Structure 1
């Protein structure tokens, strides 16, 4: 049996989503001309068939090809924050869900690591505000590495526990893409919002927990997507994400090298092979990314899945959401070896190998209706 180098593993996991469900029918109704001429707009320019791809298609191009006829590039549903609904609301639901599932309270947590992309305030992240609402007395620290924050947060938590500095670490991540896009820009069609919380503690069984990891920087994708602050009305600004004109090429050219470097490094550290891994959790910044990863690594159907059609691109929340549904649906069992991989532009790519124990799950996420009715959101609780 493989032996844990860190002696720390996942105790519980919870996910949470904001108030609004938006399907493709909304865009067909609100912006029919844009949908009809989708190839002229941002999303198709990012995820489209470039000249280089046509001449020598890569694994990325081959797995993307079936989605090019779809103006939404494989996105079907996405969850969005309602006006006035903060990222903190979904972070709190996820954090409380993970604590309740583990049967502990906030006073039992030794450290909280929080990644809010983006936070509810300029200049500071949500960690201190989450700590106040949960009545945490232990340190709460902000960190951020874009879409890789969950995988890196899990590795950081396991490493800190192994060092003896902390016994139990709560990792909370959220992504709020909807506040960075506008409804009439097709770039907003493939993104959503979500949050996840992972409770990490020392493994009680030998050979369980985090076994290996590898994180690299993703500087070749710097400014692939850029967030601007733009005027909205008198004394008001809003965030707006735009795509680099070379964004598609950046993704295409780096996807396989990043994947191989991270997965090979994590497997080597864990003294394991791709075939030893029972189930893979790939983050899915687009509809074909899990299939791309599986194709490159030689992973068969049934040893991975994707939640992209259900949530679209929810950044750092993709890993906890994908892992949650795999556990909930019985795709992963106690004792399984699980591989995680994530990639984030202008940040890092990261892989992690762990042997799963009995992971307690938070509440199954409720599905709102198209009108945004979602009883979980209560402003008075934030």
Structure 2
């Protein structure tokens, strides 16, 4: 069985950065209120000409550069998003065309904030099977386009962005102990009403706006994330004290703290970008991962756990050796 190894990461953010103070000019809120409850101070908001696909393309180009590859080397694109450019075709095919890839398998995965973890496991399975050699795995969102900007409980929480990574199939002897060691995914559709968008092609014929019951989501997130991280580590035959870094979904600083505490992980082992990026849904894990790789925190040989939970509910974790 082949092993899928991460060989490059990249990310992209819209040009416009919006502070809590700027939001408070149009929304009944304050910097103190937002920071105290979420830890968020800034978010990036897509402007004219900035789309889910354009952010995904920029992140992908940086990931390819880091991997030392050309777009033509890619034969699989799996893109996680809840905010596609169009109802169809898949945003992944738009990225394919923009990168100049003439032929490859390209499709989207819809699992909201957990989407990137779902995309990782899908790509890992396809690479391990030997049907594909190199994959671009992308999380990209323009959540600002589905926010109700009069709902201060939700509009302050989200931002836009994209992250990507290159995964390559390697023979076990070549990969050594590197690569995706284990992954575990879950879903429970009974909790739809806690985090959802109130529109869709087959129901309202509109895009709709995001709706969330924050307290209930918080409670489920801490329980589910700590459990799935333990599951994935057990599958890999590893204990929490073997982990060098946790790269979590950046939803809320309080969730990150509570999850780390429940697992007995030191806070300094958790990569945190929510204060500057807010919640970028499927983009948040690869955005944070790329930052930690590029600033030198995550080094070759480090054991990293990726984890996320999103609407559905969906949640998952992956254990990766860099």
Same fold, TM exceeding 0.5? yes
- Is the 2:127–2:133 contact (alpha carbons within 8 Å) kept by the matching residues of 1? yes
Q: Please say if 1:103 is aligned against 2:68.
A: yes
SS in 2 for 1:212: strand
- Counterpart Cα distance in 1 of 2:297 and 2:54: 29
Contact 1:15 1:94 in 2 (8 A): yes
Verify: 1:285 aligned to 2:251, yes or no: yes
Alpha-carbon contact 1:115-1:125 (below 8 Å) kept: no
Partner of 1:115: 80
Corresponding residue for residue 270 of structure 1: 236
Q: 1:223 aligns with which of 183, 193, 196?
A: 193
User: In structure 2, do the counterparts of structure 1 residues 156 and 6 end up closer, same or farther at CA, with 3 Å as the change threshold?
Assistant: farther
Structure 1 equivalent of residue 311 of structure 2: 345
| Equivalent residues of 1:181, 1:240 under 8 A apart | yes
Q: Is the 8 A contact 1:112 1:138 kept in 2?
A: yes
Give the C-alpha shift of residue 178 in structure 1.
0.2
Distance 1:299 1:7 in 2: 27
**Unaligned runs of at least 5 residues, structure 1:** 39-66, 231-235, 357-382
Task: Check conservation: 1:9, 1:201, Cα contact below 8 A.
Answer: yes
Say whether the 8 Å CA contact 1:290–1:305 is kept in structure 2. Answer: no
Kept in 2: contact 1:280–1:339 (CA 8 A): yes
Candidates 12, 21, 27, aligned match of 1:16: 12
Alignment of 1:289-368 (within 5 A): 289-356=255-322
- 2:57 equivalent to 1:92: yes
Match of 1:201 among 153, 158, 168: 168
Counting only pairs closer than 5 Å after superposition, residues 128-277 of structure 1 correspond to structure 2 as 128-136=93-101, 137-186=103-152, 187-203=154-170, 204-229=174-199, 239-243=208-212, 247-277=213-243
Partner secondary structure for residue 175 of structure 2: coil
Unaligned stretches of 5+ residues in structure 2: none
Q: Please give the alpha-carbon distance, in whole angstroms, between the structure 2 residues aligned to 1:209 and 1:314.
A: 25
1:249-270 deviation per Cα after TM superposition (whole angstroms, max 9, x unaligned): 4324422431243112211111
1:81 aligns with 2:75: no
- CA RMSD of superposed structures (Å): 2.3
1:24 CA drift (Å): 1.1
Pick one of 26, 29, 36 that aligns with 1:35: 29
Residues 72 and 190 of structure 1 are in contact (CA less than 8 Å); yes or no, is this contact kept in structure 2? no
Give distance in 1, aligned partners of 2:288 and 2:312.
Answer: 22
Q: Provide the rounded CA distance (Å) in 2 between the counterparts of 1:291 and 1:71.
A: 13
Q: Name the counterpart of 2:91.
A: 126
Larger radius of gyration: 1
CA distance in 2, matches of 1:142, 1:314: 17
Tell me: higher relative CO, structure 1 or 2? Use CA pairs within 8 A at least 6 residues apart. 1
Distance 1:250 1:348 in 2: 14
Cα pair distance change 1:209/1:141, threshold 3 Å: same
Q: Is the 8 Å Cα contact of residues 116 and 125 (structure 1) preserved in structure 2? A: no
- Return 305-314 or 279-288, whichever deviates more: 279-288
Aligned length in residues: 313
